[in-house]
């Protein structure tokens, strides 16, 4: 029987968790790379731990030896290199770390495969990004659009893109980049703009937050659903020939529109007034200012016009970019966060009760 063994770097991340579920469902043996941290934060994959065929291993993208050993141990037939310092704004604060993981990390994976003589049997997927288009030279963007990276994150990812292409041509390896546009979900990190908005809308609706501060409200993105996008990663590696693909919905919205829709979903209709730093999102019913702009969230250089053309992925992979609409994406994130915020509150009440009990000496 054909061996189906996947190694996922970045398994604890948003995409890593969905991809693990997807590949386990396809009968793969899934091995995830985790790094040591002082708190064991594995919330996104906690439900998979203990599943037969799901294995976790300590290593680090900054540690070549650990990668060589891991690839040798697992002998993967497919590697999904998702690990990255993935926050664009943070890449301005930690540019060297970002380059080490997001650029040199890709090279380390490729060399770990070669060192273990698996270059003919192991296919490699690289998590590339629409950030490569940066200060865009064409709208919408496709596989032929020139790159113009516009952050330390994007510059590091550009190296990853080119080294994958180089190893494909130099060593005839099956390695490909998925140029993925923004994809979000209930598991999205809480400091990315979509999740920051859905959590704030839920908290404000439940009276637990007064205001939401954002940066550039006019920034435009092509937002899709992460659960739909991981299927594409797999399809790219099942393709007859190793090629790069743009993965996007082909629909564009602004941060302001995302915000409007998220608040509408919790029963608050916002009206935006003013411009630039003075723009405010006002609750039409009460007149309360709920959204304000803070320059703290401006970036030294910001990418403001991303819009993907997924024609090639539709045609050659048979992928459906319209599976989850923008409206459905916002709704599912807000509904999730409404429950989460209410549950967090219930949990903190349990803690408070416990504290009361402790005070009264009921629990020792
Ligand atoms: P994410 O939630 O931020 O997950 C990043 C993962 O990388 C986490 O598992 C993280 O581990 C791991 N990681 C970071 N540094 C590491 C290191 N030194 N060694 C080992 N693991 C390390 O990112 P995501 O949204 O799932 O995105 C997955 C990939 O796609 C990333 O490469 C990202 O740059 C790229 N991408 C994302 C999007 C998007 O819209 N989501 C679009 C295009 C491309 P910890 O949990 O320990 O931090
Ligand atoms: O910002 C603007 C911000 O941080 C989107 C990563 O997954 O997708 C992601 O990178 C836009 C930017 O994502 C806030 O200036 C306004 O223009 O949600 P984001 P990103 O930078 O697009 C790409 C494809 C990746 O590859 C990355 O790994 O929203 N914005 N106000 C804000 N952004 C944040 N984070 N916070 C704000 O308050």
User: Nearest-5° angle of CA 277, CA 194, CA 37?
Assistant: 110
What pLDDT, on a 0 to 100 scale, did the predictor assign at position 349? 61
Structure-block tokens of residue 190: 């809480």
CA atoms of 146 and 350, how far apart (whole Å) = 55
Q: Is the pLDDT of residue 358 over 50?
A: no
Q: Is the pLDDT of residue 299 over 70?
A: yes
Rounded distance from Cα 101 to ligand 1 centre (Å): 10
Digit-coded pLDDT (tens) for 4-17: 999 999 999 999 99
The sign of the CA dihedral 246, 248, 249, 250 is negative
Q: How many CB atoms lie within 10 A of CB 149?
A: 21
Output the pTM of the full model. Answer: 0.96
Per annotation, catalytic residue among 21, 78, 131, 231: 131
Q: Is the pLDDT of residue 340 over 90?
A: yes
What pLDDT, on a 0 to 100 scale, did the predictor assign at position 353? 52
Best of 31, 86, 87, 186 for a ligand 1 pocket test (most atoms within 8 Å of beta carbon): 86
What pLDDT, on a 0 to 100 scale, did the predictor assign at position 357? 44
Rounded distance from Cα 294 to ligand 1 centre (Å): 26
Three-class HEC string of 84-109: CCCCHHHHHHCHHHHHHHHHHHHHHH
Q: Whose CA is nearest to atom 14 of ligand 1?
A: 84
Per annotation, catalytic residue among 129, 194, 198, 324: 129
pLDDT averaged over every residue in the chain: 95
Q: Is the pLDDT of residue 60 over 50?
A: yes
Rounded distance from Cα 14 to ligand 1 centre (Å): 7
């Amino acid at each position: 029987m054909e061996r189906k063994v996947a190694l996922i770097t970045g398994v604890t991340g948003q995409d890593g968790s969905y991809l693990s579920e997807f590949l386990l469902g396809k009968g793969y043996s899934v091995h995830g790379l985790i790094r040591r941290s002082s708190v064991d934060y594995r919330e996104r994959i906690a439900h998979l731990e203990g599943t037969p065929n799901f294995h976790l291993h300590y290593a680090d993208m900054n540690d070549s030896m650990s990668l060589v050993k891991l690839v040798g141990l697992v002998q993967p037939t497919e590697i999904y290199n998702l690990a990255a310092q993935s926050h664009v704004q943070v890449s301005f604060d930690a540019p060297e770390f970002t380059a080490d993981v997001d650029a040199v990390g890709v090279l380390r994976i490729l060399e770990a495969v070669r060192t273990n003589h698996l270059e003919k049997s192991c296919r490699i997927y690289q998590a590339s990004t629409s950030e490569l288009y940066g200060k865009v030279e064409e709208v919408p963007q496709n596989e032929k659009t020139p790159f113009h990276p516009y952050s330390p994150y994007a510059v590091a990812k550009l190296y990853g893109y080119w080294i994958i292409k180089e190893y494909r041509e130099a060593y005839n390896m099956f390695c490909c980049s998925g140029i993925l546009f923004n994809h979000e979900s209930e598991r999205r990190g809480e400091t990315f703009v979509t999740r920051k908005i859905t959590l704030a809308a839920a908290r404000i609706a439940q009276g637990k937050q007064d205001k939401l501060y954002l940066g550039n409200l006019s920034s435009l993105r092509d937002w899709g659903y992460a659960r739909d996008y991981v299927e594409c990663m797999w399809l790219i590696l099942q393709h007859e020939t190793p090629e790069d693909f743009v993965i996007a919905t082909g629909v564009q919205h602004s941060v302001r529109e995302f915000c409007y829709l998220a608040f509408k979903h919790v029963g608050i209709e916002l009206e935006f007034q003013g411009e630039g730093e003075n723009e405010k999102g006002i609750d039409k019913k009460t007149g309360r200012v709920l959204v304000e702009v803070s320059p703290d969230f401006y970036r030294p250089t910001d990418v403001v016009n991303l819009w993907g053309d997924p024609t090639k992925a539709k045609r050659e992979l048979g992928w459906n970019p319209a599976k989850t609409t923008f409206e459905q994406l916002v709704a599912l994130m807000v509904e999730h966060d409404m429950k989460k915020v209410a549950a967090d509150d219930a949990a903190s009440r349990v803690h408070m009760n416990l504290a009361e009990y402790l005070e009264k000496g009921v629990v020792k």
